[in-house]
Amino acid sequence: MLWAVKIYRLVTSYRWYYLFVVLLLTENLAAQTCSWEKQWDVLITDRDKIVLLEQVAASSPEFEPCTIRAFIELSTLYRINNPQIEAINYAQRALKAAAKLPDKHKLMAQAWVVHGNAQLHNKVYQEALPSYQQALNLLPEASDNHAKVLLNIAQVWVDLILRGYESDKSALCPACDDKALYHNTIQALQNALEKTLALQQSETQADALLHLAHIAYKLQQSKAALGPVKQAREALLYAQAFNAEKFPRQISHAKAQSGQIYYDAGHYKEAVQLFNQAIFHAQQASALDLLFRWQARLGQAHHALGNLAAAIKAYQQAVDYLAQIRSQLLQFNYYEEANKPLRERVQAKTYLDFIGLLLEATQLEKDNETRQVYLHRILKIQESFKTIELQEYYQDDCISHPQPLKNERNTCLDENTDVLSGKIADDEAVLYPIALPNKLAVLLYRQGQIHTGAMLALDDVNQAVAKANNAIWEFPETSKDNLLKIKDNLAKTQTATHQLYQWLIKPFAKQLEGVQTLIVIPDGELRTIPFSMLYAADAKQYLLEQYAIAVTPSLSLTQIGKRKPLERFFLNGLSVAVDKFGGLATVPREIDNLEALSAYKHTLRDQTFTVKNFQEAARDYRASIAHIATHGVFKGDISQSYLQAYDGRLQIKALENLSRHNVMRGEPVELLTLSACESAKGDERAALGLSGVAVKAGARTALASLWKVNDASTCYLMSRFYQLLQKPMPAAQALRSAQLELLRNKLKTSACFERPLNYQHPYYWAAFILIGNWM
């Protein structure tokens, strides 16, 4: 089988529903076999394919067919994976190279198609349409590929109506009003439908019909007109008549799309029937990626009919199927979802909608034992979703439950009713805020029971978080009128965080009696704020004064248990100004103080703290503590997150080397400290990356800051935290004690200060969060 056909089928098996129709390489085009095809066949992820083809593009003569085919495939891969400039560049290179071939028409046609796809994905409609028309001129009118390009042209007109700006519309159709534009779109859909119906029955024809039905129905939903839905139904009826044994996947799609049309029209019983038929055919095709979608839609239809039990059963099936293909979700992106936040993608919606459904069942259920079953199921689903969030942020599907170490509490969620039994001590509690569409649910786990707070409006919570963050980021540390401005800023901070305390903590006051450590698994915007600074106005206390607090992105990803002695220190510090960052004056003192605590240390300072030296030491030195005192930046995109070394940027991925060899010996890094990092202001994805740094680095515990803090107070907090750890004291308690000394101005040492200030404002102490194992 030809490599292009193989790749096309692999792609369409996971994401046909969201892709532009990609032109197949024909038998004539593939007469030449390329040397890299055997390597290509064994690759799984898009990242690996890009690496291979980049090597081919760099090392092969540009005007050879195999190189041009590599350009074409690279354009497609980059378009799917979002770097649009590269997608367009490779399409243009393919066009330029193909133009110099003696028999150029076939490769030129493909090059024009991928150029059009890249421009359409980038919403540059005035470039996309001429590209497709150029391809159309090069293809035989009776060919499959001619029909596909007509479908791409229809896609342009539909997108122009749904997403286009007036400038785009006038550029493509200067004399068109809205009515004429709509007529052109309907005509383009009809042209594509007629050509597609004239093709021979095949996977290609079925996929084209389904794609046409999809875009036609989207147009109908936008315009509420009969024309597009008639075209959609005609395409779907034709697809459903295909041979069920040969085309079960395509028939499954057709049934599901028909079911969605009935569902949107309010005909829920008919929708249930069609979704069940879609599930049957997906089972015949062993298509797990379809089964989770159709089960979720079946659940929605049952819910609309008021059949809550059937809806829950369908959604449970959906998440069970999702669990089986979770590792593939990063390997196969979806065109329409590629630029969406994770929570707006189909797999995330499945988890979140199911949680919402179970919460509804919990509210209706009067029997507490049954309610607890529902609530524990919610926690298990939420933990699964938390894993997917980290995998997606770090683009690493290897992030999963760690193997339990000796003397470690087992945190893998089991099938028992109490999913956290034996994992959380009696004097510990777990706070689970769960961000759902438009609302926030808050759960508290304590001693085997899960308690629920009021359902909150998500916008209200996010606004309170934004106010608290703004107050912190506006802290007037360098103002000449410090005292007055700091007092005013403190009032703003306490007002905003008091509201959060009232919503998130106060409803559980009774259940929290006797708790020493509160473990928070923050969600959404709540990741951007340290819970230690939540303020109880009536008691005039911060949450820090009531509990030791730890944060973790997921309990099932956390290696909880008594830590081993902290004997071997790997210390790194950058005090001089580098790149855009100023110097960190107290870093030398900070490193000196930590060096004094251990006889076994390896230290990199300033000029010796280079990218290469760090990577080599991280690989070779068996550290129980890795301390990095340098500027660190976490952003919503992991590729833009880094730590600053003396000679360049240290990518977050490099932290994996810290514990890779230690883990093989059963001795992971106990503590990773990033003492001068910050996350992008108000960016919950950046905060997610920060909260997952311990998991990514393979460390049991991480200590990091959400914002850049005063040098002297950071030096003090670090020194005292490490001193208290040596006692030994649990990590969460040690951090709390060090923070309280700053908050209450009861400083135990002057090693970090020339002139101590008043450090009571949360700006100085609240930024530091303990992530992962709190023991």
pLDDT band at 465 (very low <50, low <70, confident <90, very high): very high
pLDDT at 121: 84
> Angle, to 10 degrees, between the axis of helix 3-15 and the axis of helix 203-223?
40
Q: Could you report the per-residue pLDDT of 350-404, keeping only the tens digit for each? A: 999 999 999 999 999 999 999 999 999 999 999 989 988 888 888 777 776 555 4
Q: How many CB atoms lie within 10 A of CB 514?
A: 10
Lowest-confidence pick of 147-151, 337-341, 406-410, 472-476 = 406-410
pLDDT at 298: 98
Angle (CA) 454-458-464 rounded to 5° is 95
pLDDT at 335: 44
How much is the average pLDDT of 620-645? Answer: 89
pLDDT at 227: 63
State in Å, rounded, how far the first CA of the chain is from the last one.
57
pLDDT band at 207 (very low <50, low <70, confident <90, very high): confident
pLDDT at 614: 93
Q: Check whether 7 has a pLDDT greater than 60.
A: no
pLDDT at 279: 98
pLDDT at 402: 56
How much is the average pLDDT of 564-573? Answer: 90
Lowest-confidence pick of 172-181, 238-247, 262-271, 715-724 = 172-181
Lowest-confidence pick of 7-21, 159-173, 277-291 = 7-21
Picking from 551, 352, 373, the residue whose alpha carbon sits closest to that of residue 439 is 352
pLDDT at 104: 67
Query: Which residue type occupies 228?
Result: P
pTM metric for this prediction: 0.84
CB 645 within 8 A of CB 610: yes
pLDDT band at 19 (very low <50, low <70, confident <90, very high): very low
pLDDT at 478: 60
How much is the average pLDDT of 495-508? Answer: 97
Q: What is the mean pLDDT of the chain?
A: 84
Distance (Å, rounded) from C-alpha 736 to C-alpha 725?
11
Q: Check whether 6 has a pLDDT greater than 60.
A: no
Q: Judging by DSSP bridges, how do beta strands 428-436 and 560-561 pair with one another?
A: unpaired
Q: Could you report the per-residue pLDDT of 426-449, keeping only the tens digit for each? A: 999 999 999 999 999 999 999 999
pLDDT over 70, % of the chain? 86
Q: How many CB atoms lie within 10 A of CB 311?
A: 24
